[in-house]
Amino acid sequence: MGDPKKIRKKYQGPRHPWEKLRIDEEKVLTKEYGLKNKKEIWMMETVLKNYKAQVKKLISMTDTQADLEREQLRLKLLSYGLIESNDALDKVLGLTVKDILERRLQTIMFKKNLAKSVNQARQFIVHHHVTVDGTKMTAPSYLVKVKEEGLISFAMKSGLSSPDHPERYSETVAPKVDKKKEAKLAEKKKEEETEGVAAFDEVPTEEEVVLGDLKKKAKVEAKEETSEKQPGEKKNE
């Protein structure tokens, strides 16, 4: 029977500890779902394996007891949103660990905008701020049923129960502005504007070009006239 005080392991680890592909996939899942360690992934994988083992066993059985157990398992999976009412029971065999991770309380809190991130959702749950159907829940890995999704809220005695709490998610909150970065951008924009004005001033307009040509032509004609008059004046003298 074993020691009742000793908590037994609720998961089955990988058969081989060093598999690069599996390790890389677990790193992505750990970051995406805000998991504490890879044991939480293995726990969800074990839950899925147990469901698949039950389905495989019941599919091959044809007695009335098997029919009853199949219906009970179908209703259970339906309550967790893992299958739909029109799906066959063998659809469970195509589920992945991500389908189970999507049903965790931590993930659903983040998707319902009750937390700004999955890590913050975990903090709220662990710090006794969250209730499910009026019951305080402290396990981020709790699998939420479909009917319980609308019953997730903050505890009445928690400061987070107020929508005005600074840590609550709000779509109207303005993003933080880096003043130094903003000043640099403004200075750069000002320099570009001054350079543009200077460059614009340097480029003459069509009227200025025509006037310049006329002035140059007038100067040339005046020089020619003066050069022609000087020899004639000397002869008259």
pLDDT tens across 138-171, in order?
999 999 999 999 999 999 999 998 888 888 887 6
Amino acid occupying residue 108: I
In the chain, the percentage of residues whose pLDDT exceeds 90 is: 54
What are the φ/ψ torsions at residue 63 (nearest 5 degrees)?
-80, 175
pLDDT at 29: 96
For residue 144, what are the contacts with CB-CB under 8 A and spacing of at least 6?
Answer: 80, 103, 104, 105, 108, 132, 152
Its pTM stands at: 0.68
The DSSP annotation for the chain comes to ---TTSPPP-S---SSS--HHHHHHHHHHHHHTT-SSTHHHHHHHHHHHHHHHHHHHHHT--SHHHHHHHHHHHHHHHHTTSS-TTS-GGGGGG--HHHHHTTBHHHHHHHTTSSSSHHHHHHHHHTT-EEETTEE---TTPBPPGGGGGGEEE-TTSGGGSTT-TTS--TTPPPP--HHHHHHHHHHHHHHHHHHHHHHHHS--HHHHHHHHHHHHHHHHHHHHHHHHHHHHHHH-
Judge whether residue 175 has pLDDT over 70.
no
The DSSP annotation for 149-165 comes to GGGEEE-TTSGGGSTT-
Q: Would you list the domain boundaries of the chain?
A: 7-103, 113-172, 179-236
Ranking 15-19, 110-114, 147-151, 185-189 by mean pLDDT, the lowest is: 185-189
pLDDT at 8: 80
Ranking 12-16, 36-40, 140-144 by mean pLDDT, the lowest is: 12-16
